[in-house]
Amino acid sequence: MLIFKALHILLMFSVVAMEIGAEFLYAFAISRRDVRGLATIHRILEQARLGPISIIVFVAGIVFGLLTVATGGLDFFDGWLIAAYVLVAAILVGGGLLWPRKLLPLGVKAVEAEAGQRPAEDVVRDMAASRAVRWFAVMATLFVLIVLDMVLKPF
């Protein structure tokens, strides 16, 4: 049904904007070793409750995508859909590793440093050792690949 497809597209574009936007801001601040900037970004995103909201929107987008397949005469086992399932799984796993394990702890440390509870130099050292920029590049690539898969249906 067309409404399911429209909702799937709207929700998934919302997820891309929320997730890639937030991850980009974190990665950018980390790459610049900007403790104050990272602390600000962390506080804003925490107050907005972006993490839980983006997870709900992502799951809803997946549900509407599956409803689109079920009601739109599509085959659940078309190659492009199998590629989409794999990419979604990779995004879920990667997001589960990137955000809570890599980015959030650095954001918390930056907030603590800004409050004088930890030396800013320690946070800068952790930022320098972080692989956040590489993680962001991987996650952004996964999102680009799934958009291309959905639009081009190459398989």
Asked if residue 56 has pLDDT above 90, the reply is yes
Asked if residue 127 has pLDDT above 80, the reply is yes
Asked if residue 102 has pLDDT above 80, the reply is no
Asked if residue 89 has pLDDT above 80, the reply is yes
Boundaries of domain holding 106: 2-152
Taking residues 58-70, what's their average pLDDT? Answer: 96
Asked if residue 101 has pLDDT above 90, the reply is no
| DSSP track, 95-107 | HHHHIIIIIHHHH
Contacts (Cβ under 8 Å, ≥6 apart) of 10: none
CA proximity to 39, closest of 100, 97, 105, 94: 105
Taking residues 44-72, what's their average pLDDT? Answer: 93
Asked if residue 27 has pLDDT above 80, the reply is yes
Instruction: Compute the mean pLDDT over every residue in the chain, rounded to the nearest whole number.
Output: 93
Q: What residue type is 146 in one-letter code?
A: I
Q: CA 142 to CA 108: how far, in whole Å?
A: 26
Asked if residue 68 has pLDDT above 80, the reply is yes
Asked if residue 155 has pLDDT above 80, the reply is yes
Predicted confidence band of residue 97 (pLDDT cuts 50, 70, 90): confident
Predicted confidence band of residue 126 (pLDDT cuts 50, 70, 90): very high
Tokens (6 digits) for 36: 């104050």
Asked if residue 6 has pLDDT above 80, the reply is yes
Taking residues 146-150, what's their average pLDDT? Answer: 95
Burial 112-144 (b: 16+ CB within 10 A, else e): bbbeeebebeebbebbeebebbebbebbbebbe
Q: CA 134 to CA 34: how far, in whole Å?
A: 17
Q: pLDDT value at position 121?
A: 96
Q: pLDDT value at position 50?
A: 87
Number of domains the chain contains: 1
CA proximity to 39, closest of 147, 101, 100, 127: 127
Asked if residue 153 has pLDDT above 90, the reply is yes
